[in-house]
Amino acid sequence: MANVVTRFAPSPTGYLHLGHAHAALFAEREARSQGGTFLLRIEDIDRTRCRPEFETAIREDLTWLGLKWTGEVRRQSDHLHAYRDLVAMLNGMGLIYPCFCTRADIASAGNAPQGPDGPIYPGTCRALTHEARAKRIAGGNAYALRLDMAKAIAQTGRLTWRDLDAGEVVATPEEFGDVVLARKDTPTSYHLSVTHDDHLQSITLVTRGEDLRAATHVHRVLQALLGYPTPDYRFHPLLTDANGRRLAKRDHAETLRSLRDSGKTPAEVRALAGFS
């Protein structure tokens, strides 16, 4: 059987908490239990929220926990040109259009059906003429680049992927509508960079939390468009606090550092993260 390659791919927007420890230990176990390889990737495309000191802290905290990754750490912000090239390629395939809408525009477009990622984009800018687009761009209006999902699906046809627990899954990317592939503030997006990097790092098994299960449908369509093979997938539950709420940075979930400072050992923290 081929070498299993997994990865942990955090964003350096804060200190790691037990939910991250669970995700990292889960990915590492999937690799190690099969004699495979575990990699680390820093997903720092959001230049306003990511900070180098959090990246340093991620490495320190994982090392303290006893996690060892193989080889160089891939940092997404070092590869923005590569994502730009991919968007240009998809544009050449006639699948991309500029979108000038603000969040408020989309919200006020009214009764937009909800997709897995929030309201489905109503397609306002898809209908703009070439001249209208050129005029707005020349006028300095900021724009994102969206994937024309209906066209993309027409090119790829029916797609499936394998969830190691649930079996074959039929991809339903239409539920997302025209996703953003390059944001106004950065020449890529989560969906594009994660799909590209999983391919470049030869990831054979993507492990991620249940909250990102749905995103896999978008990644599957991107793999097909970009000619990338499809890895297997396995999803882990999200850890919750005493009130049943999912641990999150924004709610100030207790960090691995604070657990360490309070005298907990790595083994105790691994146990708290569900890995005794």
Could you list the residues that contact ligand GLU (CB under 6 A)?
A: 9-11, 43, 194, 208, 212
**Dihedrals phi, psi of 191, to nearest 5 degrees:** -60, -45
3-state secondary structure of 254: coil
Identify the bridge partners of residue 162 per DSSP, sorted by sequence position: 168
Residue 9 or 96 with smaller CB distance to ligand GLU: 9
Which DSSP category does 162 fall into?
E
Residue 209 or 274 with smaller CB distance to ligand GLU: 209
CB of 43 to ligand GLU, least distance (A): 4
The residue among 267, 256, 219, 259 whose CA lies nearest residue 61 is 256
Residue 45 or 87 with smaller CB distance to ligand GLU: 45
CB of 241 to ligand GLU, least distance (A): 18
C-beta nearest to ligand GLU: residue? 208
**How many CB atoms neighbour CB 255 within 10 A?**
18
Residue 92 or 229 with smaller CB distance to ligand GLU: 229
Residues 6+ apart with CB under 8 A from 103: none
Residue 7 or 123 with smaller CB distance to ligand GLU: 7
Angle ∠(8,13,14) on CA atoms, nearest 5: 90
CB of 199 to ligand GLU, least distance (A): 13
CB of 11 to ligand GLU, least distance (A): 5
Rounded CA-CA distance 80/93 in Å is 20
And the tokens for 214?
Answer: 């749905």
CB of 252 to ligand GLU, least distance (A): 17
